[in-house]
């Protein structure tokens, strides 16, 4: 464990850090951004070994989004975290004289569980957002990324970050329970559904709030007037990026029945240019996949591309990417969050059928739509129950640092990245004060006011002119009675 003071010291260091001006925090991150650029080739090479991908892909998919996210904080952070002062506009008349402001304050100590598929960028963006918001941060790296994260901490400290407020945990240690028991203030996790639910239950036992970015099983929808050639290139890109280990990669493909034959031939031709590869799976994961694929094949599913050896446990005979056609929607494969370069292809005959097929998945991370028919897009988009929708693009545009990233249902809750992700690193603190000495609400209401209130509410909350006229007469009558009673009390 690197940079691990005792728990009390960690909170004391955070209380000092939170008083550091935003501009000073931003200067540290700006220097850090330059350090990342200086060491980009070194970082990319190390991540490529962990991910088993190319250095070029790593630069594009991890380093560049990370740098953009830091620059976004430098530019937009002060506006996002600014204190919001409320004037008298919209203030209820019965609260006259009240002044209010809403501040954004850090949670205190946050913990970030880093995923293995993008071992640096995803947790890194959460880290810089958490630090910029004034938190102390504990990061648990994925196995294999410890050295890179230790150097990341050292670079930040060299740039001026107080060393006490950033802790890099040993991923081999089962230390989550210990940190929860000591008292972290919020936890952020990116990972699979099963692990996410287990972590969520542990946090709930201690009353610790969480932000979970979990599995995806995203829809890839071919619509009318779509460019099939571009859509198929995008699908191939999604299959191969990071060996299919991207939560927002396409998993379920929906094609109009009238275009299926053309789509099938074009996709087969495109996939022939992609080299097949063997993906290493755990014994348990492969056993579950073999069972689900075998059941789907028994129900009529066919491989268009790739192969899964369902007869033995030898993964050397598997070929990815895998594309299955004619897999009935009732099959388990449609509900699984397999983290592989594998897609299921189905047809649809109507918009109603398409919406049903898309939304029946328990996951709701993202969907990509392919069409230039604006009317079709306008009808479809409001009905798709996911957190992120891309039109005529896939995956890459979600790296825009200005947008939040997050899903619904089994894909998790809360947001990371963008303004919403930065706000997740803070709590709202409301400060209110009176500008005068009137505190009549402390006193019991006179009876004549109590009698007047119902008619007053009926008058002020009337929904149309006719009601307003009717209730105004009733209000005036009660006001005259209240005035008479008030004068009698005075005399």
Helices 22-38, 121-132: crossing angle, 10 deg rounding: 160
Model confidence over 351-406: pLDDT tens digits? 999 999 999 999 999 999 999 999 999 999 999 999 999 999 999 999 999 999 99
DSSP tag of 385: -
pLDDT level of residue 172 (50, 70, 90 thresholds): low
The residues spanned by each domain of the chain are 7-214+418-429, 218-401, 444-490
pLDDT of 348 over the 90 cut: yes
Residue 248 has pLDDT above 80, yes or no: yes
For the chain, the average pLDDT equals 89
pLDDT of residue 182: 85
Residues 6+ apart with CB under 8 A from 69: 125, 128, 129, 401, 417
Among 321, 328, 339, CA closest to 249: 339
- Which pair of tokens denotes residue 397? 């545009």
What is the reported pLDDT for 122? 95
Residue pair 407/213 in contact (Cβ under 8 Å)? The answer is yes
Q: Report the percentage of the chain scoring pLDDT > 70.
A: 95
Section 242-258 average pLDDT: 92
**What 8-state DSSP symbol labels residue 142?**
P
* Region class of 257: left (phi > 0), else alpha (psi between -120 and 50), else beta: alpha
What's the order of all strands across the beta sheet hosting 426-434? 84-86, 98-106, 426-434
Q: Sorting pLDDT into bands at 50, 70 and 90, what band is 313?
A: low
Range 460-468 average pLDDT:
83
In angstroms, the CA 63 to CA 48 distance is 11
User: What are the backbone dihedrals phi and psi of residue 343, each rounded to the nearest 5 degrees, phi first?
Assistant: -135, 155
Look at strands 426-434 and 98-106 and give their pairing: antiparallel
- Is the pLDDT at 91 greater than 70, yes or no? yes
More reliable by pLDDT, 374 or 472: 374
Report for 29-43, 163-177, 444-458: range of highest mean pLDDT: 29-43
Beta strands in 87-165 (DSSP E): 98-106, 109-113, 136-140
Asked if the peptide bond before residue 321 counts as cis, ω within 30 degrees of 0, the response is yes
Among 354, 355, 322, 318, which residue's Cα sits nearest to residue 251? Answer: 322
Q: What is the mean pLDDT of residues 6-30?
A: 91
- The model's pTM: 0.90
Q: Please give the distance of CA 226 from its chain centroid, rounded to a whole number.
A: 29
User: pLDDT confidence of 314, banded at 50, 70, 90?
Assistant: low
Whole-angstrom CA distances from 245 to 14, 118, 331, 445, 458 are: 35, 9, 22, 65, 59
User: What is the predicted pLDDT for the residue at 374?
Assistant: 93
- Residue range 218-401, CATH number: 3.40.309.10
Distance CA(142)–CA(72), nearest Å, equals: 26
Q: How confident is the model at residue 442 (pLDDT cuts 50, 70, 90)?
A: confident
Tokens of residue 431, six digits: 């400060």
> What percent of the chain has a predicted confidence (pLDDT) above 90?
59
Maximum CA pair distance of the chain?
101
Query: Structure tokens of 211?
Result: 């932000």
Interval 261-300: pLDDT, tens = 999 999 988 888 877 766 777 777 788 888 888 888 888 8
Q: Using 50, 70 and 90 to split pLDDT, how confident is the model at 2?
A: low
User: Any idea which architecture 7-214+418-429 has in CATH?
Assistant: 3-Layer(aba) Sandwich (3.40)
Instruction: Identify whether the C-beta of residue 415 lies closer than 8 Å to the C-beta of residue 211.
Output: yes
* Residue-level pLDDT at 178: 86
Q: Are 304 and 344 in contact (CB under 8 A)?
A: no
Q: DSSP H helical segments within 272-398, as ranges? A: 283-298, 351-359, 374-380
Q: How confident is the model at residue 198 (pLDDT cuts 50, 70, 90)?
A: very high
Average pLDDT over residues 35-47: 94
Beta-bridge partners for 110: 137, 186
Predicted confidence at residue 306, as pLDDT, reads: 81
Distance CA 116, CA 393 (A): 25
Give the DSSP H or E segment for 419. helix 418-424
Smallest CA-to-CA distance from 218 within 232, 190, 239, 195 is with: 239
| Angle, vertex CA 61, rays to CA 52 and CA 174, nearest 5 | 60
Residue 160 pLDDT exceeds 70: yes
**Residue 332: predicted pLDDT:** 82
């Amino acid at each position: 464990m690197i940079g691990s003071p005792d728990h009390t010291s960690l909170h004391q260091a955070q209380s000092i850090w939170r008083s550091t001006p935003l501009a000073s925090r931003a200067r540290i991150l700006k220097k850090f951004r330059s350090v990342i650029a200086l060491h980009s080739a070194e970082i990319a090479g190390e991540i490529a070994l962990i991910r088993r991908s190319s250095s070029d892909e790593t630069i594009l998919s991890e380093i560049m989004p990370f740098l953009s996210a830091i620059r976004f904080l430098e530019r937009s952070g002060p506006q996002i975290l600014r204190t919001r002062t409320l004037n008298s506009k919209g203030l209820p008349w019965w609260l006259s004289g009240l002044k209010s402001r809403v501040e954004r304050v850090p949670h205190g100590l946050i913990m970030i569980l880093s995923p293995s598929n993008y071992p640096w960028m995803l947790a890194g963006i959460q880290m810089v957002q958490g630090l910029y918001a004034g938190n102390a941060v504990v990061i648990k790296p994925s196995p294999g990324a410890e050295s890179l994260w230790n150097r990341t901490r050292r670079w930040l400290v060299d740039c001026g970050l107080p060393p006490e407020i950033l802790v890099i945990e040993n991923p081999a240690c089962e230390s989550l329970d210990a940190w929860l028991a000591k008292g972290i203030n919020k936890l952020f996790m990116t990972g699979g559904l099963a692990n996410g639910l287990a972590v969520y239950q542990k946090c709930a036992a201690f009353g610790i709030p969480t932000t979970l970015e979990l599995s995806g099983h995203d829809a890839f929808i071919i619509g009318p007037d779509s460019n099939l050639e571009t859509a198929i290139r995008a699908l191939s890109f999604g299959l191969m990026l990071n060996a299919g280990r991207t939560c927002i990669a396409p998993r379920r493909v929906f094609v109009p029945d009238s275009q299926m034959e053309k789509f099938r031939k074009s996709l087969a031709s495109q996939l022939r240019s992609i080299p097949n590869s063997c993906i290493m799976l755990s014994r348990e994961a492969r056993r579950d996949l073999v069972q689900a694929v075998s059941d789907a094949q028994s129900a009529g599913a066919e491989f268009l591309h790739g192969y899964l050896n369902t007869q033995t446990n030898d993964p050397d005979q598997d070929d990815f990417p895998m594309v299955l056609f004619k897999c009935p929607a009732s099959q388990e494969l449609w509900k699984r969050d397999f983290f592989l370069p594998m897609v299921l292809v189905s047809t649809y005959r109507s918009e109603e059928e398409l919406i049903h097929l898309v939304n029946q998945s328990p996951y709701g991370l993202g969907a990509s739509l392919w069409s230039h028919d604006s009317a079709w897009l306008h009808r479809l988009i409001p009905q798709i129950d996911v957190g992120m929708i891309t039109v005529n693009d896939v995956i890459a545009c979600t790296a825009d640092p200005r947008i939040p990233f997050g899903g619904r249902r089994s894909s998790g809750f809360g947001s990371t990245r963008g303004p919403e992700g930065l706000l997740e690193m803070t709590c709202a603190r409301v400060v209110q004060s009176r500008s005068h000495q009137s505190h009549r609400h402390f006193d019991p209401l006179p009876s004549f006011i109590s009698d007047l209130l119902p008619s007053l509410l009926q008058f002020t909350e009337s929904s149309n002119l006719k009601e307003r006229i009717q209730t105004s007469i009733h209000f005036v009558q009660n006001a005259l009675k209240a005035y008479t009673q008030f004068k009698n009390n005075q005399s």
